[in-house]
Chains A and B, each alone.
Chain A
Amino acid sequence: AQSVTQLGSHVSVSEGALVLLRCNYSSSVPPYLFWYVQYPNQGLQLLLKYTSAATLVKGINGFEAEFKKSETSFHLTKPSAHMSDAAEYFCAVSETSGTYKYIFGTGTRLKVLA
């Protein structure tokens, strides 16, 4: 069965510092991976997705993620944090057959310090 693990339920960074949010997956087949962001009192919004076309995926708001098969990881990064990046971030893997439903990680809440 596929699964996703997000290390660190809370991450704090200073404004302008590197953002690194970790996601590891478990899948017996090539995975389809997603990062979503949830701002307070809002629904989830897609940041980026991996569909095997390229290992380095660029998303919105300056975020990117690198798929590393050897490490079964899909970590999310941003070179310089902005106050507006404060939100909760979810990594998800899609089933590759049947319902194509997502398996979500438990989320990481990012706090940006002034």
Chain B
Amino acid sequence: DAGVIQSPRHEVTEMGQEVTLRCKPISGHNSLFWYRQTMMRGLELLIYFNNNVPIDDSGMPEDRFSAKMPNASFSTLKIQPSEPRDSAVYFCASTMTSGPYNEQFFGPGTRLTVL
């Protein structure tokens, strides 16, 4: 298996532009998580999908952030408009949630820089 795939790996954009981050979870996994990692705040869970349905989006910082999962093999995280404070590494992770002991598999991350 190729693991969790994220694209792009690096994104540099200007303030005000729309940014779309993409994630392909591991085949057969039914739960997907989006995290953000910064030096100041560490790892933060943004949103969690189960069977393609958003279950918990309490970590989404504001309305500029949105996430979708149109099918079991694809998810997007969109920021519109982007701001410099959105600069971070964004990780996608997936798992098969048959219980709390299941390992989450992380993608390599997308490093976003907003100028």
A residues within 8 A CB of B4? 43
Q: How long is the Cα–Cα vector from A106 to B40 in the complex, in angstroms?
A: 10
A residues within 8 A CB of B101? 32, 49, 51, 94
B residues within 8 A CB of A94? 100-102
Secondary structure of the B side of the interface?
strand
- Tell me, yes or no, whether A113 is within 8 Å of chain B by CB: no
A32/B100 contact (C-beta < 8 A), A43-B4, A44-B91 known: yes
A-side interface size class: 20 to 34
Output the nearest chain A residue to B59 by Cβ-Cβ distance: A101
Chain B residues at the A interface, C-beta cutoff of 8 Å: 4, 31, 33, 42-43, 45, 48, 50, 55-56, 91, 93, 97, 99-109, 111
Chain A residues at the B interface, C-beta cutoff of 8 Å: 32, 34, 36, 41-46, 49, 51, 90, 94-97, 99-102, 104, 106-107
Closest 9 CB pairs of A and B: A43-B106, A51-B101, A94-B100, A44-B106, A104-B43, A100-B100, A32-B100, A32-B101, A96-B100
